[in-house]
Amino acid sequence: MVPVLDWGCALSALIDFTDPTGPVWGWDWDPDTEQGLIPMGIDLTTWLSDSLRGEWVLPRWTGRRR
């Protein structure tokens, strides 16, 4: 995991370069579950394309945890 963007307030975007598709993960520490990684369900290419159009995808807890 390589951090590529810090949104502030302990929110970050990370890229998993061990996977050729480059899945994007979010980081938002949840003290209740003691977990922070959030699968964002998007790959690096799509995430960058969306970002260039101003369509930022922020990490959000959806009940799916790693």
Domain spans of the chain, in order of start? 2-52
**Alpha carbon 16 to its chain's center:** 10
- What pLDDT is recorded for position 60? 62
What would the pLDDT profile of 32-57 be if each residue is shown by its tens digit? 766 788 888 889 999 889 888 988 76
Average pLDDT for the chain:
81
Q: Please state the φ and ψ torsions of residue 64, each to the nearest 5 degrees.
A: -90, 125
pLDDT mean over 2-14 = 86
Write a three-state SS string for 6-66: EEECCEEEEECCCCCCCEEEEEEEECCCCEEEEEEEEEHHHHHHHHHCCCCCCCCCCCCCC
- What pLDDT is recorded for position 18? 96
- What pLDDT is recorded for position 9? 77
pLDDT mean over 11-39 = 86
